[in-house]
Amino acid sequence: MNKKGLAILLRSKMRPLSPASKKVNHVQLAPLDVNKVATQNASSKTPRDFGQVRESMHSVISMNRKEILDTALSEFSEGYFSLSQENRHKLLLILAREYDLNRGQVRELMKQYIGLEIPKGDGIDEHGHEVEGHLSAFYRIERNLRHALNPMYAILFERLNTHPGGLKFLSTVRADILSIIADENIASIRALDSYLKEKLITWLSPANLELHQITWDDPASLLEKIVAYEAVHPISNLIDLKRRLGIGRRCFGYIHPAIPGEPLIFIEVALMKNIASTIQEVLWHDPPTPEPEASTALFYSISSTQPGLAGINLGKFLIKRVIHLVKKDMPNISNFATLSPIPGFMQWLLSKLASSERSVPIFSENILQPQEERALLDAYVDSTEGRNGMEVLLHLLTSTNHEWTQSDGLQPILLRLCARYLLHEKKRGKALDSVANFHLQNGAMIGRLNWMADRSEKGLTQSGGIMVNYIYSLEHIEDYAQAYFSTGHIQVSPDVLHYIEAMEKNEDSSCM
């Protein structure tokens, strides 16, 4: 084994080889626990007194001397990392409440502004000049209002952003802010998060990001990040990693100059003859399709490396840039699609099914068609408990070891329910499923549902083993994205739409 491979093994602690392949039997180490490593790194620093860290934060916000400011920024960031999670949260609450904007000043300026008389007409006198004297008061108060509406913690964020390592530090700070929000609904913390998120969106605009193709020739430290942060399909071992970076595969990441050697987000691409219908085809496709024969670029995994950048859609820009880059380099590629999980499907379905047991029949929604109800009762009434089809299906899907996957009779029912979930279940007018919403807002179309496309424990538990192909059409990306953004309209292929049309026909006929 070469030095790079050994370094990645030791530093990344590769996961065991996937059971899908028994070809290789390398040294297998425990999975990387990112949070544990981060905690160990933090605890290895010299602990700081909470009061000292708070004082250094105040100094960063209040001082102006450049030569002292750099030292204060370093002291604050080092001190923050040394704090316990409890003390970090305590410090962030102080930052949000005590360094907010001065509302008394804002209120006074607003009173002054309301008291001004708005110039009549277009503000031009008979000589063609602006009535400067009348408008200057407006300009002055508007300028002062803009300044007063900036919270004091804006100074801290701005100064950290220009400090070496500051952008990565701000990402860590926002991750801590999000953890507070997950536990408590505190208005001042939500305002702090909203402000920092807006600043990060500006600082991480596509113009400031470098698109980098990640290959085996990159440093081990960068490849370690790919292994550690692959969130969709864990990388099993060195051979798995080399396969994903080798012939017939591409991996691209966005890198910011302030965080060198670490992609903020990366996407994995398989070059294939056709759009894959199972993840096994992608991960264990050996030998891969010769690249000149490939006609499809399949996006099968996209992962963020920074929890603090949640809600900042870097993936939207990444997918579009990768599509154009691949098309430019490989004119033979004409199809761009994903093979994506449907992470919210089973949770939604089990919740719907369970509601039939909790609710009075008149208030519960039967999501099954009459013929589906009859088929379930006829096939399983003797082997499962349940007074109706909803209860039978619930007991089947919650059986141990996913025994329901052996039943072919469930395939048409679950595929139809999955189509309904993707197309009709909404949150604030947009797709309820997070992955669906991500691709639809990027301008994709729902192309095909794939039965038992991911038989892993995670795939069966979250998506019922079903995966979906989202199709990206170069000609329609912007139009589809705009339609979805403005009206929530979802572009869908006839292959998926027929599940819904069949459901609607059955509902109409049952009413006759």
Q: Show which residues are catalytic.
A: 340, 439
3-state class of 334 per DSSP? Answer: coil
3-state class of 151 per DSSP? Answer: coil
Give yes or no for a contact between 211 and 321, defined as CB atoms under 8 angstroms apart. yes
Torsion of CA 346, 443, 255, 161, to 10 degrees: -90
Distance of alpha carbon 243 from the chain centroid: 25
3-state class of 27 per DSSP? Answer: coil
Give yes or no for a contact between 446 and 496, defined as CB atoms under 8 angstroms apart. yes
In the chain the first and final C-alpha atoms are separated, in Å, by 72
Q: How far apart are CA 272 and CA 290, in angstroms?
A: 8
DSSP annotation string for 70-81: HHHHHHHHHHHH
The residues with which 267 forms a beta bridge, in sequence order, are 252, 302
Q: How far apart are CA 309 and CA 326, in angstroms?
A: 26
Question: In this structure, what are the phi and psi dihedrals at residue 171, rounded to the nearest 5 degrees?
Answer: -65, -40
Q: How far apart are CA 230 and CA 18, in angstroms?
A: 14
DSSP annotation string for 349-387: HHHHHHHHHHS-GGGS---S-HHHHHHHHHHHTTTS--S
Question: In this structure, what are the phi and psi dihedrals at residue 266, rounded to the nearest 5 degrees?
Answer: -145, 155
Q: How far apart are CA 456 and CA 431, in angstroms?
A: 25
Q: Which of 184, 364, 336 is nearest to 250 (CA)?
A: 336
Q: Longest Cα pair distance anywhere in the chain, in angstroms?
A: 95
Give yes or no for a contact between 263 and 231, defined as CB atoms under 8 angstroms apart. no
Q: How far apart are CA 290 and CA 243, in angstroms?
A: 14
DSSP annotation string for 446-488: EEEEETTS--SHHHHHHHTT-EEEEEE-TTTHHHHHHHHHHH-
* Neighbouring C-alpha atoms within 13 Å toward the C-beta of 230: 23
DSSP annotation string for 237-300: SHHHHHHHTSTTEEEEEEE-TTSTT--SEEEEEEEESS--SSHHHHHT-SSPPPGGG--EEEEE
3-state secondary structure 265-280: EEEEEEEECCCCCCHH
How many Cβ atoms from other residues are within 10 Å of residue 332's Cβ? 12
